[in-house]
Structure formats: C-alpha cells, structure tokens
Structure 1
Amino acid sequence: MSATQSSSSLSTFAALWRLKPFVRPIVGRLIGGALSALGAAVIALMIPIVLEQLVAGPLKSGVVGLILAGAFAVFALALGEAVMVWLRRWFVLTPATEVEFQMRSELYSRLQSLPVSFHDRWQSGQLLSRMMQDIGLIRRWLAFGLILLVVNILTIIIGAVLLFQWHWLLGVIFLVTGIPMWIQGYLFEKRYGTLARRSQDQAGDLATSVEESVHGIRVLKAFGRGKHALSRFSRQAETLRETELSKARAIAEIWFWLDLMPQIAFGLSLISGIWLIWQGAIELPQLFAFFAMATVLRWPIESIGFLFSFMLDARTATDRVFEIFQATNTITDPEKPVRIDEPRGELAFEGAHFRYQDAGASERDLLDGIDLVLRPGETMALVGLTGSGKTTLTTLPARLYDVTAGRVTLDGVDVRDLELSDLRRHVAMAFEDATLFSASVRENVLLGRADLDLHSEEAERVLREALDVAQAGFVDSLPEGVETIIGEEGLSLSGGQRQRLALARAVAAKPKVLVLDDPLSALDVDTEALVEEALRHVLADTTALIVAHRPSTVALADRVALLERGRITAVGTHSELLRTSAHYRHVISSLEAEEAARTGAIPIITDAVAEAHAAEVHAAEEAEAAVTEAEVDEEEEVQA
C-alpha cells in the first residue's frame, strides 16, 4: 500500500493525531489558549443574560444609577472578553511556531537520510511545497483553527442549552434548523477533502515547473523555448485554478447553508416569540435576551464551515508531510556496526548485482555479477560503452544505492556493516555533473571535513592543497577570494570551474578510497594535463576508481577494468587489454574518436582500425551465441 493510500484511509481525527509527537511539548500552552478562548466565549454568552436583567429592571424603572451600573457591567464583560482573546493569542502563537520549526527541521533531516532512490522518484517542487506550504498551514491550524473549532462547537452547545431557559419552543427551533447544516457538513468533508489534496499536489507540480524553468533558463533562452515553457506553465496553472474554483464552490455551498439556516431560525424564532408573548408564555425582556444570545451564537455557527475546511486542509497537509516521514529508508546504519580504525583501502565487488526498483521482472540486472578487486593504493580506470553501468557501479561503494545481491567490501568488511558516517569518511566521490551550494568557496571545498574549524590553520592548509591539485587557482581572482559566495548550484561559474571545485572537495576530504565519475570532462586539454599530473601524487597512497570517458584519463590508472553489459569482462593494464581484448579496442577507439572530435586531434586508432575492431567484436558475439545455442540443443537431447 502506498503512503497516499494509507493516509487517505485514515479518519480525519486519526490523520491529525499523528501530529501528537510534535504537539506534545506545547500541549499545556494549547490548553491554556483553548481555556482562554472558551473564557472569552462564556463571557460573550453572559452579556445577553445581563442585558435581560438590564431591560427588565433599570430600563423599565428608569433609574439612571442602575442603568449606568448595567452599562458598566456590559463594558466590563466586553473588556474581559478582549483580555481572554489576547491571552489566547499569547498562549498559542509562539509555541505553534516552535512546532513549525521542529517539523521543518525533522523533515529536512529526513530528506537528508532518505536514499537517492527516493529522490529519484520525487519532484523537488513537491518536496519544497511540503516543506514550506504544508507545514506553514499546519502551524496556522494549530494556533488558530484547532482551538477555535473546539471552542466554537462548545460555545454552540452551551448557547443552545441556555436558549432553552427562556422557552423550550425557541430552543427546539434553534436546534432543528441546525440539522441541515450538519448534513451538509458531512457531505462537504467528502468532497472538499479530495479537492484539497488535489490542489496541494498541483501546487507542488507548479512549484516544480518554476524551479525547472529557473534552473534551465539558459537552455530555454538558447533554444528560444521560453514561450513553450510559459505555455506548459499556463496549462498547469489553469488546472490549479480550476481546482481552486471547485474548492471555492464547495465552500460557497456550505456557506450558503450556514447563512441561510440562521436566518430561517431567526425568522421562525421571531414569529414564535411574538406568538409566545401574545400567549403570555414569555415576556419582552426574555425575547430580547433570546435574540441577543442568538446573535452571539451567529459567528460561531457561521465560522464552522470555514474552520471545517481549514481542518480538512490541515489534514491533507499532514498526509502529505507524513508521506515523507513514513517513506521507507532502505539505506540505514547497521544494528551492530563494525569499525575500521585504520583502513588500508582495499575495495572489492563480490558477485555484485543491481537493478532499479522500477525495472521489469523480465529485464536483466543492470549490474549482473560484478567481481572486481582494487588493491590498496591502486588506481583503476573503469571503461565501457554508454549504458554498460559505469556510473551505477560508482554509487555502490558509498552506499548511494545498495547492491540487490552480492556485496561490496572495504578491507574485507561489507560496507553495509559500517556506519554511514564512517563509510563516507573513508570513501569520497566526485561526479561528472558537479553540484555546488550557495555558500563560500571555502565552505564548498571543505564540505567533507566536519572535523575541521573552517578558519583554522589546518583547514587553510587542506583548502590550499586541494585547490592546487584541482588547478583551481582562479578562486583567488574572485571578488572575495575563497570567501566569495557562489551562486545557486554554482551556475555563476563555468562548467570547468565547477568541476575543479568539486574535485578539490573530494581531494580535501582525504578519503582512503576516491571514486571519480569522469571528473575532468569539462576541462580543456592543458588544464586537464596539469590536474592529472597533480592527481598522480594525491593518488599515490589512495585507492581510486575512475570512470574514464576520455583516453587521457585511462593514463592515470595502474589497471583498467572493462565493463560490458553489466559484467567485468577483462582486467589488466592498458597495453595488455589493447593486445588481448577486441571489445576494449573498440571502446578505446570510440573514446579517441570522441576526443578527436572535441579537440580536432588525429585519433591514435583510425576509423579503419575501429571498424576492424568492431567486426572482431561482432564475430566474437556471433561465436558466443552459436556456442550457447549448441549447449541448449545438447541439453534438450539429454533431457529427451
């Protein structure tokens, strides 16, 4: 059952009850706010009783002193009501913001702990709308909607009981005319709850569109697709507008009944009250007090529709937030973690399989039994054609994803037996798509060094070493040097500058195992050569797995692993594989052809040689297929 389904199957009360852990610390303040609000309501209900005595006594006798005393009593009650309203706000406003802060902090922490596979499935706009819009709505409901809903219902009940003291007929009229409102309220919940969920989901989709358009503004402008993006956004905004209009119509319908029935009750009560006075059953001051009491009750009655819709909005917001809190976290710390105090850096893949969750049952594993060992301090290049699984393989050592079968080990210990904090201190990564944060250069490069004071001498030394290795001296020419704040996602820098800072970040982490997913793809030839030379010194005592998309990157490696259709089919030095593997020659020729197209250089392996290599690969594949077919025929004969 999905999170959405399990949330929608809960009653409104049960859905909102999940807020209990966050609300528990402020329950006392909420109760204080509720009692203050109830006190204000009770004081308001006392005013009609005082008015009845005032009309029946002082006003009838004309004694000025008594009239002034009655007026002062009404003023004192009104002042008391105002004080109670102020107390309600004082009790609940600050604690409600504390709940908002706590929920937002825990939700952010949850997002950080959930696996990459979760973020693959969720749109960033949906997460953003839950973090900001939904939690803010919950806070407003706790501070305002919840208390007023409870207090107003109690006010209506107490007021309805008081109405019976003047005459039972007037009280019955008031109660009977309220029945259609409760029926409509029940129907309203069914309809409005669905619309509220749809609206908040569509708002999340709209936020995603805005975020994508802002991040991709260069692409949209370069291809002249601004109008296309606007058209798509307009369609989504129009869909949201239609949903909001449906919500407004639903609210209008409930308001129709909330406005109509009190008016009918007033009319019937007036007619009944005049008849009762004519019959001598009640007196004029009593009828006056009845209508004063009914007037006091009018706001609580009319507010029920608004507060009810507010509650349903809060319930929907709670459902959406708890879909994240209740998401399954498949990558967690072990119950009994193993520690590696001084890692040697031996990284091994033992029968490692991997497939994505949405892969069909008939599809083969993306990584189909990887067996590979990287010796301590060894640099190994990983090469293969597009789609062979290179990038996926690099995500396994740091547990961005977990293997679906087999295991990955560090110094013989399964990485799943290590605490994530320890594992990711020993294993660092640099990605081809370099992501930077809206922070200073210093904070971005030293992101992986939580053990350092960012402004200490040691941090300065580590920072400078990492920048030198990555050939990122350009930072000193930025307006404030290493203290310069990088724009959102580092888009104020060039692609090569971003990659160099991302590489510096990985180097600064001082890992025992360094995993690099083509980290030099955006660099020019000269800068790349300088970075490679510096990396040779860094990698001298560091185990490194480098995904190579360029022949020059292969030159960094002690050995090369060839990945083909999710399996390691050959491991050796570059020269050994060129001599023994036709598929390796084909891959290298492809890389050199791409490099030649990029730089204008003459490829070492010509097109004719590449075609010959491709023919060899094709022939080898046909031979393998023939052998497989022969084995199948032989097995069928044996079974026969």
Structure 2
Amino acid sequence: MIFRWFERLVDPFVDGSDEMPPQTLAAFYAHYLRPIAPILAALLALGLAVALIEVLLFDFLSTLIDWTQAAASPEAFFDEHAGALAAMAVTALLLRPLFNALHDLLVHQAIEPGLTARMLWQQHRYVLQQSLSFFQNDFAGRIATRILQTAPALRESAVQIVDAIWYILVYVSLAGLLFVQANGWLLMPLLLWVAGYLLLLRVFVPRLEARSAAASESRSKLGGRVVDGYSNALTLKLFAHTEREQAYAREAIAEFRDDTRRMTRTVTTMDVAMTVHSGLLIVGTPALALWLWSRGLVSTGDIALATGLVIRIVNMSDWILWTVTGIFENIGTVHDGMRAISQPRQVTDRADAMPLRAERGEIRFDDIRFHYGRRGGVIEGLSLSVRAGERIGLVGPSGAGKTTLGNLLLRLHDLEGGRILIDGQDIAAVTQQSLRRQIGVVTQDSSLLHRSIRDNLLYGRPDADDAAIAEALRRAQADGFVHALVDGEGRRGLDAHVGERGVKLSGGQRQRIAIARVLLKNAPILLLDEATSALDSEIEAAIQASLDELMHGKTVIAIAHRLSTIARLDRLVVLQQGRIVEAGTHAELLEAGGLYARLWNRQVGGFMPTATE
C-alpha cells in the first residue's frame, strides 16, 4: 500500500547518536533534519515542479487569449492548437495532481508522524539520562511541555520553510522571467514590491522572533505551574489554599496573556503594512501593462498574464506572511525547548566504562568530598570500609549526610573528591546501569509508577514469573491487600493501577510494594533508607523477619531515624556534619555516652532535645 511505503521512509526508533544536541539554533535544526535530508530535497524538487506548472498555466492563459484573438475561425483555432490544448489538459489533470499528491504523501505520511516521533524519542532518551539534579531544579511539567512542544514545532517550521519560502522564490523568479519575456518594464513593479517586502520582513521578523520566544517561555512556565498544582492536589486540599494556588496560576496566565498580546500586536501591524504594500503591486502592474498596451508594446494576453500573476503573488504573499509568523512562532518554541534539551549531562559514563562485577559486595569510601556545589561541607573527607556481607547502620541528626552518602554510592551525583570502590572497582569507572543493578534500594519516599502492581514489581526483575512475584509479595507482607485491589477501570489485583506516584495506596502499602520489588531484584548490596518508616509497629515487626532474611549474606547499608530498626545490625556509624564521629555496635555506642547515646535516650525517653544538641 502506498501509504505504508511513505510511512516507512522515516524510522522513529533508529539508533542515533547519544551526544548532547547542539546549543545553537541552526545547529539544533541541522542535527535533527540531517537524517531526512533526501526527503527534504524531494520536497524542494516537488515545490519546483508545482511552481513551474502553475506559472506555465498562467503563461498558457496569456497565450490562449492571443490565439483566440488571432484565430480566423473556431474551427481553425482547434485544428491549429489541438496538441497544445491536450498537453495543457494533461498537465492540469494529471501532472499537477500527481506532484501535489507526492508532496502531501511526503509531508503527511513520512515527515509529520516519522520525524516528530523520532525527535520525541531521541530527546526523551537523552533527557531521561540526565542527572538527578537536573530534574530537581525544574518543574517536571515544564520539562515535559518543552520536549512535547519542540518536536512538532521544529518539524512544522522546517516544512514551512521548504514549502513556502522555496515555493514563493521559485514562483516570483519564474513570474519575473515571463514579465521580461513580455516586456522588461513589467518587471519593475515586481522588483520594487520584492524589495519592499524584504524590508518589511527585516523590520518585523526580529521583533516577532523575540516576542514569540517570550510567549513560548511563559507558556512553558504556565504549564509547569499547572502540572505542579495537579501533582500536589492533596497538599493543596490539606492546607486549604485553593485561592493561593489560583493566584499562583493566575500570575502565570496573565504573563502568558501579556506576552501573547505583544506578539499578536506585532503580527497585526505587520499584516496591515504588508496588505497596503501589496495593494501597490496590484494597482501598479496592471496600470503599467495597460499603458504599455496603449503604446502597442504588449498584447492583450500579456495584460491578462501580468494581472493574473500579480494577484496570485499577492495572495501567496498573504499566505507567506502567516507562514512566516508561524515559522518564527515555532522557532521561538524550539529555542525555548533547547533550554531543557541541550543541557550537558552532569553524570556520564566514561568512554571506556566497563560493567561492574560485584561478586562479594565489599564497599570502601575513600576520603570522599561532596558539597552539592556549595562552599559549606555536606560530606567532608569521609572514609569508611564496609566488609562483604556486613550490615551497617548510618545514624545521625537530619542534615548529617546519611542520604547523601547513599546517593553517592548509587552515583546519582559525581564526587568532588576521593573515590568509592565496590570490590576494588571505582564506581566512576563502571557503567551507571551496571552499578545500580547491583544495589537494591528501598527509600523513605517509595513513589511508584502510574502503572499496574505487576509492572512496578517487574522493575525489580523483568523476567520474574507470577510465582516469583507471589512469593515476593508474601515475604513483604503485601499479598493480602494486593489481591483485594480494584482500580477505577475495574482492573484487579496485580493488574490494578496505583495512580500517579502510587497515590491510590497508603504509605505502608507503597512501602511494602517497594520492599517486594527489591526482594525480586535480589541484588548483592542493599541500601535501605528509612525502609520501614511508613509501616505501623505491627506490620514493621512482621516484615522485619523478611528484611533479616533478605539481608542474609548481603552487604547492607541501612539509614534510619528510628534507631530501634537498626540497633541489631553488625555496626553502627554515626555521622554529624558530613563526618564520622562514632562507630561501633549498639551496646558499645550506648556505653560510650556520645551522640548516639543521646539520640537513643531521646527516642526511648521521649523528651525534647536541649538547645545545644
């Protein structure tokens, strides 16, 4: 089928370069358009063919008028020009529809779906591998909006440039040749009009580009604020600040309205100026043609040719005006999208990175330093060795660096100094994917994907069968509530969807699903960051046995503010202001009477801390 042939011309999921997209506009366009250069060249050729046909039809109209005036009789006219008439009929009825059909097939079947999907895929793939800081520093909604808008905007502006600009250039050039052929003076109004048209574009286009970019930026900002509000609907309701949130969105809507008004004012002014300017061509060219005809310098057909062509050119100039407006509005959108897409990745694999081989699970933090880019210390010269199979707990007040240490082990950030070794391998020299496959993680904020329970569990082990999933749920004390789940579309059990970030489940249910996922993963290293913080005491006691079983034979780093959950571990490491201040077993640290003992006594005794602690 012809549609399928054209639809296969652009493969959206072809393997491409994973390098950062260019940060300049022209190079950004070239980066995504270069693979479809043959298709764009075909569009140029078809544009040339269609323009040639249309100008030839106008020229034939001029010739036809002259033939009818010169014909001795209708019979003689048809006898003499039958071949030419048939040729023009074939051109109008067959060639013109054929070239237009090929043009539409390339644009609508190849470029629109294929190029858009390819750009969305490549941009999403690149941005998805950005560092954690990238996503923490912007609205998720704004990032998504920019990516979703950039691909269609780039495609549309590229097609418009090839279609409209090339077409008008060819059309005006061919019209000029026909004018010269009839009488050189007929070319003068057209040249003056082209000069004035270019001057008006030079005046208005830079303003339009700047104001379109501003409107696109405010549109992205508005999208980010709206999505942020929707994503935190529970918080908005709990704090009863609907009016405050409305004012927050209203501010962004007003900014978007004002930026859009400035852009549309420029568009309206340009439209009026272009219309007045085009009127001069419509009046000037026929008037000149009539004057030349009165002097016997052109024929009646030449008058029809000149008048028909300038009216056609003026109509096209109006089309070009709106096309140019659309082009620069789309360019503004692309320029805005580049801010999110063309950003260097802060955490990257080395060119020679090898997969991590974690056979024993020994971990060593060697004089590491990390400050989140600030001058003040978060982790300062910390060294710590964790033996293979050892279970340690990280303890300390909020802000001591416990979670940061776990994030550095996962290489969610790159160190500013020192190194982290797993079984003697520097984690900076191995691939991030292989590193994280060897570490099972349960965090305090166990958000889930808005997919089914089964899909969330399979993130732990994609090849797990239903029997393995059922066993993991049983060990995580999650099998009872999972089988009773029903979502809004009637899906049940493992097929029930959990809502955005797992909002349809309670905190304890989300945590048990997260633990089941790690049970399935069965990684040699475990990182537990407040793994049971969302569980009530009864469920926590029931699941602790499963966690003990899970931790058997594995290297474990557990972070907890509730010290009773980690008191039985092999060793406790106490952090304060990014440094290790104590280490030992629970009993040893209590006997030492230091920071750990004070933290323990607070939790056991339940008294308020003093001002100095």
| TM-score using structure 1 length | 0.85
Counterpart-to-counterpart distance in 2, 1:307 and 1:465: 61
Could you tell me which of 105, 110, 120 is aligned with 2:121? 105
Residues 408 and 415 of structure 1 are in contact (CA less than 8 Å); yes or no, is this contact kept in structure 2? yes
Deviates more, 1:91-100 or 1:405-414: 91-100
What pairs up with 1:4-83 in 2 under 5 angstroms?
7=23, 10=24, 15-58=25-68, 61=71, 63-64=73-74, 66=77, 76-79=90-93, 80-83=95-98
- Deviation, 1:76, is 4.5
- Whether 1:93 and 2:103 are equivalent positions in the alignment is no
What pairs up with 1:601-620 in 2 under 5 angstroms?
604-605=604-605, 607=607, 611=610
Could you tell me which of 306, 309, 328 is aligned with 2:325? 309
- Deviation, 1:208, is 1.1
The one-letter code matched in structure 2 to 1:397 is L
The one-letter code matched in structure 2 to 1:37 is G
Counterpart-to-counterpart distance in 2, 1:174 and 1:552: 88
- Whether 1:84 and 2:99 are equivalent positions in the alignment is yes
Structure 1 gap segments, 5+ residues each: 1-5, 593-603, 618-640
- Deviation, 1:61, is 4.1
- Deviation, 1:40, is 1.4
Residues 146 and 337 of structure 2 are in contact (CA less than 8 Å); yes or no, is this contact kept in structure 1? yes
Counterpart-to-counterpart distance in 2, 1:180 and 1:267: 15
Residues 369 and 415 of structure 2 are in contact (CA less than 8 Å); yes or no, is this contact kept in structure 1? yes
Q: 1:476 to 1:469 in 2, by over 3 A?
A: same
Counterpart-to-counterpart distance in 1, 2:296 and 2:568: 107
Residues 398 and 428 of structure 1 are in contact (CA less than 8 Å); yes or no, is this contact kept in structure 2? no
Counterpart-to-counterpart distance in 2, 1:208 and 1:341: 41
Residues 222 and 249 of structure 2 are in contact (CA less than 8 Å); yes or no, is this contact kept in structure 1? yes
Aligned match of 1:159:
175
- Deviation, 1:192, is 1.5
- Deviation, 1:162, is 2.2
Counterpart-to-counterpart distance in 1, 2:370 and 2:358: 29
- Whether 1:475 and 2:485 are equivalent positions in the alignment is no
Counterpart-to-counterpart distance in 2, 1:26 and 1:364: 50
What pairs up with 1:329-408 in 2 under 5 angstroms?
329-357=345-373, 359=374, 363-408=375-420
Q: Helix, strand or coil for the counterpart of 2:372?
A: coil
- Whether 1:557 and 2:565 are equivalent positions in the alignment is no
Aligned match of 1:633:
none
The one-letter code matched in structure 1 to 2:96 is E
- Deviation, 1:74, is 5.9
- Count of aligned pairs between the two proteins: 581
Aligned match of 1:638:
none
What pairs up with 1:487-498 in 2 under 5 angstroms?
487-498=499-510
- Deviation, 1:461, is 3.9
Q: 1:17 to 1:338 in 2, by over 3 A?
A: closer
Aligned match of 2:585:
573
- Deviation, 1:511, is 1.1
Counterpart-to-counterpart distance in 1, 2:274 and 2:474: 72
Aligned match of 1:623:
none
The one-letter code matched in structure 1 to 2:516 is A
Aligned match of 2:18:
none
Aligned match of 1:583:
595
The one-letter code matched in structure 2 to 1:57 is W
- Deviation, 1:436, is 0.7
The one-letter code matched in structure 2 to 1:470 is A
- Deviation, 1:555, is 2.8
Aligned match of 1:175:
191
Residues 139 and 225 of structure 2 are in contact (CA less than 8 Å); yes or no, is this contact kept in structure 1? no
Once the two structures are superposed, what CA deviation does each residue of 1:120-152 show, in whole Å capped at 9, x if it has no partner?
223212211122112112222334443222222
The one-letter code matched in structure 1 to 2:495 is E
Aligned match of 1:637:
none
Counterpart-to-counterpart distance in 1, 2:170 and 2:600: 79
Aligned match of 2:555:
543
- Deviation, 1:75, is 5.2
- Deviation, 1:17, is 4.3
Counterpart-to-counterpart distance in 2, 1:472 and 1:316: 50
**Identity %, equivalent residues:** 23
The one-letter code matched in structure 1 to 2:103 is R
What pairs up with 1:206-217 in 2 under 5 angstroms?
206-217=222-233
Counterpart-to-counterpart distance in 1, 2:60 and 2:282: 21
- Whether 1:229 and 2:248 are equivalent positions in the alignment is no
Counterpart-to-counterpart distance in 2, 1:318 and 1:158: 33
Residues 498 and 504 of structure 2 are in contact (CA less than 8 Å); yes or no, is this contact kept in structure 1? yes
Q: 1:607 to 1:229 in 2, by over 3 A?
A: closer
Once the two structures are superposed, what CA deviation does each residue of 1:442-462 show, in whole Å capped at 9, x if it has no partner?
110120324x2x4xxxx3343
Residues 483 and 493 of structure 2 are in contact (CA less than 8 Å); yes or no, is this contact kept in structure 1? yes
Residues 536 and 556 of structure 1 are in contact (CA less than 8 Å); yes or no, is this contact kept in structure 2? no
Counterpart-to-counterpart distance in 2, 1:478 and 1:493: 9
Counterpart-to-counterpart distance in 2, 1:589 and 1:131: 52
Aligned match of 1:460:
466
Aligned match of 1:419:
431
Residues 178 and 261 of structure 1 are in contact (CA less than 8 Å); yes or no, is this contact kept in structure 2? no
The one-letter code matched in structure 1 to 2:299 is E
Aligned match of 2:497:
485
Aligned match of 2:279:
263
- Deviation, 1:217, is 1.2
Once the two structures are superposed, what CA deviation does each residue of 1:332-375 show, in whole Å capped at 9, x if it has no partner?
22333355545211112111111113x2xxx3221112122222
Residues 282 and 314 of structure 2 are in contact (CA less than 8 Å); yes or no, is this contact kept in structure 1? no
Residues 437 and 489 of structure 1 are in contact (CA less than 8 Å); yes or no, is this contact kept in structure 2? yes
Deviates more, 1:376-385 or 1:276-285: 276-285
Q: 1:570 to 1:330 in 2, by over 3 A?
A: same
Q: Helix, strand or coil for the counterpart of 1:406?
A: strand
Counterpart-to-counterpart distance in 1, 2:453 and 2:425: 35
- Whether 1:125 and 2:141 are equivalent positions in the alignment is yes
Counterpart-to-counterpart distance in 2, 1:338 and 1:178: 61
Counterpart-to-counterpart distance in 2, 1:374 and 1:391: 16
- Deviation, 1:77, is 4.2
Once the two structures are superposed, what CA deviation does each residue of 1:155-195 show, in whole Å capped at 9, x if it has no partner?
22222232222222221112112322211211222212211
Could you tell me which of 293, 304, 311 is aligned with 2:309? 293
- Deviation, 1:226, is 1.8
Structure 2 gap segments, 5+ residues each: 1-21, 487-491
CA RMSD of aligned residues (A): 2.4
- Deviation, 1:291, is 0.6
Counterpart-to-counterpart distance in 1, 2:339 and 2:568: 46
What pairs up with 1:508-527 in 2 under 5 angstroms?
508-527=520-539
- Whether 1:432 and 2:447 are equivalent positions in the alignment is no
The one-letter code matched in structure 1 to 2:370 is F
Q: Helix, strand or coil for the counterpart of 2:504?
A: coil
Counterpart-to-counterpart distance in 1, 2:56 and 2:593: 95
Once the two structures are superposed, what CA deviation does each residue of 1:52-91 show, in whole Å capped at 9, x if it has no partner?
1221122564844547968776655443433322220112
Counterpart-to-counterpart distance in 2, 1:88 and 1:170: 32
Residues 277 and 283 of structure 1 are in contact (CA less than 8 Å); yes or no, is this contact kept in structure 2? yes
The one-letter code matched in structure 2 to 1:504 is A
Once the two structures are superposed, what CA deviation does each residue of 1:371-422 show, in whole Å capped at 9, x if it has no partner?
2222212221111111212211110111111211111111122111222222
Q: 1:550 to 1:186 in 2, by over 3 A?
A: same
